Amino acid sequence: MTYYESTGHLLLTPVDREAPARAVRLRELGLGDRPDRELDLFARRVADTVAAPYAGVNFAGGERQFFAGLYHAADAPASGYPARELPRDHGYCPYVVVRRRALVLEDVRDFARFAGNAVVDGSGVRSYLGAPLTDRRGIVLGTVCAVDTVPRRWGAEGLATVKELAAELVALLHEREDGRG
């Protein structure tokens, strides 16, 4: 367990035992270390689909996470969020990666485990919707996610949508790998 010094809140950043295998796989796929125009467009589609001001395609590394795909609406609040690269203990994507399941947080402040995260006070994040990107080898590469600065009722529909988008993106990544994309 870690305490985030600036807020004094408990921050549980899960242990990521798959990080070494993921790092190798991301290198094989050429992902996770530079912006990707196609993934930026996919992030925009995610934001448009769920009507969120921010969305991303995030690849989790050992000590950092990298948004190879990133979108923020022109009218989104000027909070400095999102950034292409974040420490591993910022945000909620690392939690999705380790637990290997989608995560819906309608109001992050409702959960002690998540309320003290640096993106809450520092960037104004109030709600999160994310699903893992699990490749054909069973490795979770990262996430597809959407974020808002106000509490959101994502509901079962939002959960189903983000899972569908994640599956679609994994298929696209496999096409790239197979030389068809």
pTM given for the model? 0.87
DSSP conformation class of 109: G
Q: What is the CATH number of the domain that holds 93?
A: 3.30.450.40
Alpha helices in the chain (DSSP H): 19-29, 37-50, 93-99, 112-115, 118-123, 155-177
Distant-in-sequence, close-in-space partners of 68: CB < 8 Å, separation ≥ 6: 31, 32, 33, 34, 35, 36, 39, 57, 58, 59
Per-residue model confidence as pLDDT tens for the chain (181 residues) = 344 444 444 445 678 899 999 999 999 999 988 999 999 999 999 999 999 999 999 998 777 889 999 998 877 766 555 678 877 777 788 889 999 999 999 998 887 766 666 655 666 778 999 999 999 999 999 999 999 989 999 999 999 999 999 999 999 999 999 987 5
Q: Which two tokens stand for residue 178?
A: 């197979």
Q: Which tens digit of pLDDT belongs to each residue from 39-49?
A: 999 999 999 99
- Please tell me the total count of domains within the chain: 1
Q: Find the domain containing 53 and state its range.
A: 2-177
Pairwise CA distance, residues 39 & 35, whole Å: 8
